[in-house]
Structure 1
Amino acid sequence: MKPELTIGTKHSIQITVTNKMFAQFEGELVHPVYSTAMMVYHMEWVSRQMILGVLDETEEGMGAEVKVKHLAPAKEGTILTLEATVVGIKKNFIITKVLIFSEDRIMGEGEVTQVIIPKSKIKTMID
């Protein structure tokens, strides 16, 4: 891993809630709002974007842990900003704190831990 990633590095993305992001199980709608599963997906995505530029070509990142608090519902059409901040770098583990907000309202928060490992090791783990 290249040394450019440091504590305090930030990255953000914006998404607009669509009906494909609604809370549902096995295709059955539960609530017509942004689901916790999609929140986790987007938390991992904004955190992954943090590491893409620092991976050596022989490395890859894998999710290791996600902690999430879903604090408020978001209806279809709501624009959400997800902001990830690096709060920990321990050997090959990168920890980001993620805030999800709409305008000035916090919709969710949590942490994503990723581990940077050689692609060859991943291959042996999944083959």
Structure 2
Amino acid sequence: MKSGLAVGHTAVITTEVTPGMYAQFEGNVVHPVYSTVSMVYHMEWASRKIILPYLEDDEEGMGAEVNARHVAPAKTGSLLEIRANVIEHERNVIVTEVTVRDRKSDRLIGKGEVKQVVLPKEIIKERIQDS
């Protein structure tokens, strides 16, 4: 990894809740609100944005752990802000604290932590082939 990544670095993404983000299984909508699956995706994406400028050409980040609490629903059209903040960084392991808030009401929708590990692309390729 390139130097410079530190505790306190943040990244923010925003998204508007659409029907494609609903809680659904096998095409059947369970609840017409922002799904936990979509929330975890956005948590990982915000966390990934933090590490991208620090990756060497031969490196890639891999998700290692996600802990998430989905605490409130978000309806279609809600504009969400997903903010990741580095809370731990030791060598090639980065842990972010992530919050998801409705930008209009500032209501907390979800929160959690994402752990990423940065590895050489060749090692990742080998691990995938061995699985």
Which category of TM-score, normalised to the shorter sequence, fits these structures? over 0.9
**Which runs of 5 or more structure 1 residues have no equivalent in the other structure?**
none
Cross-structure match for 1:39: 39
**Which runs of 5 or more structure 2 residues have no equivalent in the other structure?**
none
Structure 1 segment 84-123 matched on structure 2, within 5 A: 84-103=84-103, 104-123=106-125
In angstroms, what is the RMSD of aligned CA positions? 0.6
**1:5 and 2:10 are equivalent in the alignment:** no
- Number of paired residues? 127
- Please give the alpha-carbon distance, in whole angstroms, between the structure 2 residues aligned to 1:91 and 1:53: 16
Deviates more, 1:73-82 or 1:86-95: 86-95
Q: Which runs of 4+ in 1 moved over 2 A?
A: none
Structure 1 segment 74-89 matched on structure 2, within 5 A: 74-89=74-89
Cross-structure match for 1:22: 22
Shift of 1:91: 2.2
- Please give the alpha-carbon distance, in whole angstroms, between the structure 2 residues aligned to 1:42 and 1:70: 13
| Structure-1-length-normalised TM-score | 0.98
| Structure-2-length-normalised TM-score | 0.95
